Chain A
Amino acid sequence: MAMETEQNVYAGVYRALLAGMAASTLLFAAGVILALLHPTYVPLDPSWVRSHYRLGTELRGLLSGDPTAYMLLGTLLLILTPVARVVVSIYAFYVDRDYKYVAVTSIVLAVMILTVGLSCLGLR
């Protein structure tokens, strides 16, 4: 039982890490290649970066081959991979009835959710 427990958690964590890595790598590569097809001046200004945070802009960008849209999605996926890893771990510990570690891992997820909440509320 103990052996199976470990197997499940390790396999789940491994798959979550691998999937996130593959997807973001492909998107970054696509973005860089698209950007290098037409080298231009890119502003370093945070407000320029934030101007791309719209679902409509993002979707149109992906369809029209805008490099920024591809790199933005890659960045988002990369940031979400560890979050997914934590969620997968909670589930795997739960399936294995290791409730102590369901609790430990849930606290970690709570800090992540708190961060999103804080950023949305007042740290812009």
Chain B
Amino acid sequence: MTYTYQFVAALFGAACLAGFFGALLGVGGGIFIVPVMVLMFQLPMKIAVAASIVSVIATSNAGGSAYVEQRITNLRLAMFLEIATTAGALGGSILALYLHEWLMLLLFAIMLAYMGWAAYSTRNLDDERIARGDFERARPDRLSAFLDLRGDYYDQAARREVAYVVNGAPIGAGIAGLAGLASGMLGVGGGVLKVSAMNRYMNVPMKAAVGTSKLMIGVTAAVSSILFFMAGLIHFYVVAPVALGTTAGATVGTMVMNRLHSAVLKWILSLLMAYLAYGMLAKALLERFGVHLPVLAG
């Protein structure tokens, strides 16, 4: 890899965009930056995954601190779910050290496709649920009540205080564990899984789920980063511009995020992920079987 102005500028620019979308959509940015590094910059999958997971900490710090300041984050919920995500991340990153590159590409494509679909199929639910006041009226399960997991935040788009009761703590923790596994293995924050787990099964409004997920992502990613660091997979010359770019992008994205309606967010998210899933699938088939799928761009 020759370290030139052009290379650094392009990588920085791409990372800015990934961080911006990441913060805007609450998905950590890894889901965008890994395909960009692999498809556009032709970097090895494992180097991309390791660099991405470090930059995911950067976006979590930048985005996470802003949500903490705006009180959108539910700190208790974050701490509770982090037990599951960190344990998952440890398992996932150990797997990543031993998996074949093409298999990681394929898994990444499947994850992107699933998450794109999940975001699309739930795009209208949130605004309606806020308007009806559903989030306040739910009944907590025993674990959620014991841990006092309820919360509230001010929604700038709906122009009101949104209070919510958390339930489904056991299933939420289970999905969070899977999110941690995916995070460690594929270098993503796992934000999409965590956000949809909180939003669908734990009765947490989308924006509170995004803010809480952002904070958790940093802790989850730190666990995988420690492992990748020791393995020598975290390449500083790749990490530095990527982390700087994602931090800059995430800062801007976070400022915009609370002003947008959830349905718009989810639309952009699903389109972009379908596109990237196709690219990663094409690369996996090429590496393993030598099959050429038509490439959509670059």
Contact = CB atoms under 8 A, between A and B. Distances in A.
Interface stretch (B104-112, B199-207, B215-223, B287-295): B215-223
A32 B247 CA distance: 15
Interface in B210-243: 215, 218-219, 221-223, 225-227, 229-237, 239-241, 243
A116 interface: yes
Contacts, number: 179
B57 interface: yes
A123 B215 CA distance: 28
B-side interface mostly: helix
A54 interface: no
B226 A119 contact: yes
Contact of B235 (A13, A49, A74, A108): A49
11 contacts: A17-B218, A28-B239, A29-B244, A42-B3, A44-B44, A49-B235, A71-B240, A75-B229, A82-B61, A112-B86, A119-B226
A75 B234 contact: yes
A112 to B, nearest CB: 6
Decide if the interface of chain A is mainly helix, strand, loop or mixed. Answer: helix
Contact of B86 (A13, A14, A31, A108): A108
A30 B215 CA distance: 27
Contacts of A114: 90
Contacts of B226: 79, 112, 115-116, 119
A24 B243 contact: yes
Contact of A78 (B54, B231, B235): B54
B83 A111 contact: yes
B14 interface: no
Interface of A: 6, 9-10, 13-14, 17-18, 20-21, 24-25, 28-29, 31-32, 35-36, 39-44, 46-50, 52, 67-68, 71-72, 74-76, 78-83, 85-86, 89, 100-101, 104-105, 107-108, 111-112, 114-116, 118-120, 123-124
A14 B69 contact: yes
Given A17-B68, A68-B236, A100-B146, 10 more contacts: A17-B218, A28-B241, A42-B3, A79-B222, A80-B222, A82-B219, A101-B76, A101-B79, A108-B79, A119-B230
B147 interface: yes
A101 B147 CA distance: 8
A65 B102 CA distance: 38
A14 B222 contact: no
A29 to B, nearest CB: 6
Contacts of B148: 100
Contacts of B296: none
